[in-house]
Structure 1
Amino acid sequence: MQRFIGRKRELRVLSETLGSVTAAIGSARPGRCILMRGRRRVGKSSLVEEFIRRSGAPSVFFTAAGGSAEDELEELLDAVTTSTLPERDLFAEEAPQQWNAAFRLLAQILPDDRPSVVVIDEVPYLMDRVDAFEGMLQRAWDRLLSRKPVLLLLIGSDLSMMEALNDYDRPFHQRGREMILGPLNPSDLAEMLGLEPADAFDAALITGGLPLICSEWPQGASMWDFLSTSLSNPISALLVSAERSLAAEFPPQAMGREVLKAIGTGERTFTNIARAAGGIAHTTLTRATELLTAKRVVAAELPLSTRPSKERRYRVADPYLRFWLAFLGPHMAEIERMRGDLTLARIREQWTAWRGRAVEPLVRDSLARLLPDQGLPTAPAIGAYWTRSNDIEIDLVGADREPVARQLLFLGSIKWLEKAPFDSHDLAALHKHRAALTGEPVPLVVVSRSGVTCTGPQAVYGPGELLSAWQAS
């Protein structure tokens, strides 16, 4: 069996929550609920399966499939009757025909003297397909399930719908504790794949930290070896995971998918995205970008400075999807006819330039986890600055708030090249851009893949220091 990597914090939270259920046995409401959300294929189900395996608690794991209310109820019946709940046979005998009755019978067969786990996966499907599902769930929890020593795990991949489940004006408000599951982080990848810090960041940009893709990366293999193997296999997880996620979230006719493709191929401004998506209307593009940002698939960012700006830019939020849209999705035909070598050559040609921009959000996230450090203060906001003409671009801007800051805390540059360290020419350019943004002597920070050959920056970070930010998690 493959070794389970990472997720130590999440496993600890789940274990501690189940422990609180055990400690509350005999009280009026020993039940606990967790609302778990995360992008598709990020490993939510496998995390819960691993937790259940380690806990040894009787459990039922039901996954909604997006069918009708009647079909989903049949699937729930099957999940319970094949579960490890001790009274599961009773569920098969009575075969409830309504969701209210199913929740009632489920509560009835849960043990009273020991903790159990009930998992409902892909909850947004039920919210969408089953009339008044949230209300029925709320009543079942308040009147029945919470009175049993059970840990109820509600899981979903549609981030906006899972957030809405806990909104103050929704029936299930404050019934559950929220858990957000992100991808495997660079430190997890370094451990799992046996990679050096810089190579672990490359792996994060390619795989997005998605466990299914990472599981196909041989221990110690180089990025190019992994890509060569994956591109020669048309059903590799690297190739098919994105298409499956897109198909689940965006039907083929959805304009959001066309807009996402435009952003994924490198277009960042509203005007250029509209042109690349076929010259779509302003209102159509607005709806599409709002949908994509609401689903957390796309990030819409403004320059971070002390002055307001309307120069919004868009980027694909998930690194793996960004890589797939840039290099793999547009060329699936050649990969399927076994010419992945052409795709690999194209990646080699464009990799350095693409990686230089793609790594920036990951660097910012790393710094946010590291600070305060090297004399730099904690920064409530870390972003970037640019002008419409791009004559001034600053990779790192730390500030007290965003998008319009009261105070700039530091400015910095990212140089992520394999054989070119950050030098005095780069520092001079950074000084010039700082002077164009502010007259204050704001501290300067440098992030370089290949080191620094000049003096002057207040703080310097390389791949090793950035990786350490994730090791503390």
Structure 2
Amino acid sequence: MVAFIGREHQLAGLDALLSEVRAAIGGDDPRPGKCLLIRGRRRIGKSSLVEAFVDRAAVPAMFFTAAGASTEVELESLIEAVNSSTLPDRTVFDDATPGNWSAALRQLAGILPDDRPSVVVVDEVPYLVDRVDAFEGILQRAWDRELSRKPVLFILIGSDLSMMEALSSYGRPFHQRGKEMVLGPLNPAEVGEMLQLAPAEAFDAALVTGGLPLICADWPRGADLWQFLSAELANPVAPLLVSAERSLASEFPDSAMARAVLSAIGSGERTFTNVARAAGGISHTTLTRAVDVLVNKRMVAADLPISTSASRERRYRVTDPYLRFWLTFVAPYLAEIERLRGDLTLRRIEAGWTSWRGRAIEPLLRESLARLLPDDALPAAPAIGAYWTRSNSIEIDVVGADREPIARQLLFLGSIKWLENSAFDGHDLLALQRHRATITDDPIPLLAISRSGVETVGLDASYGPAELIQAWRRLG
């Protein structure tokens, strides 16, 4: 069960929904069934979480996983899943094979028990939406007419975030028919607990693993970053090496251009022009289309600087720190690793680690700060981002404001210095004060986020790894 550290509240939520179904048996509600839609990016542990819940629920259950095949093949797989399930009367499907999805779901509802709860799981729903004609309407009718009338917990799982969000959105057939659960990666505190690491090292581990349970499970408890990387890079089939490729193959089976643009952004290019150049000199239209796909899939963020005036200086970044690490340090050298020369890759990571981490850690630390505030020194900020100019002559790592990207009021400004052996000092404070003077005349509070402490006076607040990791423990 090591992969489920930090998943207790999700398991508790599933238990609570099943209890609601159980309590409704024999009551006045003609629709005792409950539906839950679970979304989260690939390899985050959605299926494993639900499998663990089903195992411990000890009720009749069926678990079906779509594979992106044809309608007919998927229907055959559903019938096989029913036959191998623990549902009573499952052999009915052998006697009367349904010829379409409407009939299959109607027949499935017919074999669900009336006197005890059951669980039905449909994994990778977006494949069905994409391949089965009018599947959303079929699903809505099956739920309204048959499934919801049985004491069943009906769980729909999907990795395509935008499609799963759309499934229950206003104007779509399945609107308001199910509750939603968003499953994210293990947060830095959970990673630290799982791997038995101190706060600063937990943040490093969160950057490299992305909080993916499968990769974290391969990290020896108490081992430092370099011990972990040395072992992973010596094994060409280690989860750290193969998880990203498998996810990308599923996300972009037919979109080489989106892959190329993602690789360009992952390698460190941040502006539209530089991304286009790094992706092979592609056209403005082609790049815009590819970026839209990546942003829609939540794989890339398109950030604007937060300030009191408008800016068009958009910067792109890969949202998943593990994928960003993989695209920078692993993907270009997979052939080298497969030749069992991961030692060369490791030396390259050691040489570039401090520089890469310095920028990669910033979004995670800003999110940590958002979870921590308000405190005695600073208010909560509805928006926490950064500020930069086209030439990058002015860069402010932390900007707290009342809204983004165009703020009415700036609430605080800050600097991030995430180095092992260098504290935030007077020179850093002076640079922050100078940058503040370029965007406002107001004495806005100043803060520092430092891995190695603060060696100066004049700040309104400062935060280190211990305070920031605690924010994740407090809010989960």
Counterpart position of 2:60: 58
Distance, in Å, in 1 between the alignment partners of 2:9 and 2:386 is: 30
1:4 offset after TM fit, Å?
Answer: 3.0
**3-state SS of 1:413 partner:** strand
Distance, in Å, in 1 between the alignment partners of 2:330 and 2:22 is: 48
Deviations 1:271-321 (A, max 9, x none): 000010110000000001011000000000000011110000000010100
Counterpart position of 2:356: 354
TM-score for both structures, normalised by structure 1: 0.98
CA RMSD of aligned residues (A): 1.1
Counterpart position of 2:418: 416
1:54 offset after TM fit, Å?
Answer: 2.3
1:438 offset after TM fit, Å?
Answer: 0.9
Pairing of 1:454-465 with structure 2 (within 5 A): 454-465=456-467
**3-state SS of 1:88 partner:** coil
Distance, in Å, in 1 between the alignment partners of 2:443 and 2:398 is: 15
1:249 offset after TM fit, Å?
Answer: 1.0
1:208 offset after TM fit, Å?
Answer: 0.3
Counterpart position of 1:82: 84
**3-state SS of 2:313 partner:** coil
Counterpart position of 1:309: 311
Q: 2:388 aligns with which of 376, 382, 386?
A: 386
Deviations 1:369-397 (A, max 9, x none): 11111321111111000000111100001
Q: Which runs of 5+ in 2 are unaligned?
A: none
Q: Are 1:22 and 2:22 an aligned pair?
A: yes
**3-state SS of 1:107 partner:** helix
Counterpart position of 2:9: 9
User: Which shows bigger deviation, 263-272 or 178-187?
Assistant: 178-187
Q: 2:176 aligns with which of 165, 174, 177?
A: 174
Q: Are 1:276 and 2:295 an aligned pair?
A: no
**3-state SS of 2:91 partner:** helix
1:333 offset after TM fit, Å?
Answer: 0.8
Counterpart position of 1:339: 341
Q: 1:396 aligns with which of 383, 398, 415?
A: 398
Deviations 1:56-80 (A, max 9, x none): 2221110000000011011111111
Distance, in Å, in 2 between the alignment partners of 1:213 and 1:291 is: 26
Counterpart position of 2:265: 263
User: Which shows bigger deviation, 18-27 or 459-468?
Assistant: 18-27
Distance, in Å, in 2 between the alignment partners of 1:425 and 1:459 is: 17
1:251 offset after TM fit, Å?
Answer: 2.7
Matched letter for residue 289 of structure 1: V
* CA contact 2:424–2:452 (8 Å) conserved in 1: yes
Distance, in Å, in 2 between the alignment partners of 1:37 and 1:283 is: 30
Q: Which runs of 5+ in 1 are unaligned?
A: none
Distance, in Å, in 2 between the alignment partners of 1:10 and 1:381 is: 27
Distance, in Å, in 2 between the alignment partners of 1:88 and 1:196 is: 51
Tell me: CA distance 1:109–1:252, structure 2 relative to 1, closer, same or farther (3 Å): closer
Matched letter for residue 80 of structure 1: V
Deviations 1:254-273 (A, max 9, x none): 21110001000000000000
User: Which shows bigger deviation, 325-334 or 22-31?
Assistant: 22-31
Deviations 1:154-198 (A, max 9, x none): 110011111111121211111111111100111111111111111
1:349 offset after TM fit, Å?
Answer: 0.2
Counterpart position of 2:226: 224
User: Which shows bigger deviation, 245-254 or 371-380?
Assistant: 245-254
Q: 1:436 aligns with which of 409, 415, 438?
A: 438
* CA contact 1:100–1:140 (8 Å) conserved in 2: yes
Deviations 1:345-378 (A, max 9, x none): 0000000010010001100111111111132111
Matched letter for residue 14 of structure 1: L
1:253 offset after TM fit, Å?
Answer: 4.9
**3-state SS of 1:178 partner:** strand
Distance, in Å, in 1 between the alignment partners of 2:239 and 2:394 is: 39
Tell me: CA distance 1:186–1:315, structure 2 relative to 1, closer, same or farther (3 Å): same
Counterpart position of 1:188: 190
**3-state SS of 2:68 partner:** coil
1:252 offset after TM fit, Å?
Answer: 5.8
Distance, in Å, in 1 between the alignment partners of 2:434 and 2:60 is: 64
**3-state SS of 1:418 partner:** coil
Identical counterparts, % of pairs: 69
**3-state SS of 1:299 partner:** strand
Tell me: CA distance 1:126–1:252, structure 2 relative to 1, closer, same or farther (3 Å): closer
**3-state SS of 1:359 partner:** helix
1:2 offset after TM fit, Å?
Answer: 4.5
1:437 offset after TM fit, Å?
Answer: 1.2
Pairing of 1:120-269 with structure 2 (within 5 A): 120-251=122-253, 253-269=255-271
**3-state SS of 1:35 partner:** strand
* CA contact 1:414–1:447 (8 Å) conserved in 2: yes
**3-state SS of 2:119 partner:** strand
Over 4 Å off, 4+ runs: none
* CA contact 2:2–2:194 (8 Å) conserved in 1: no
* CA contact 1:374–1:459 (8 Å) conserved in 2: no
* CA contact 2:4–2:213 (8 Å) conserved in 1: no
Distance, in Å, in 2 between the alignment partners of 1:259 and 1:248 is: 16
Q: 2:287 aligns with which of 285, 288, 303?
A: 285
Distance, in Å, in 1 between the alignment partners of 2:100 and 2:446 is: 63
Tell me: CA distance 1:287–1:3, structure 2 relative to 1, closer, same or farther (3 Å): closer
Q: Are 1:377 and 2:386 an aligned pair?
A: no
Matched letter for residue 152 of structure 2: V
Distance, in Å, in 2 between the alignment partners of 1:49 and 1:266 is: 38
Matched letter for residue 15 of structure 2: S
Matched letter for residue 6 of structure 1: G
User: Which shows bigger deviation, 305-314 or 161-170?
Assistant: 161-170
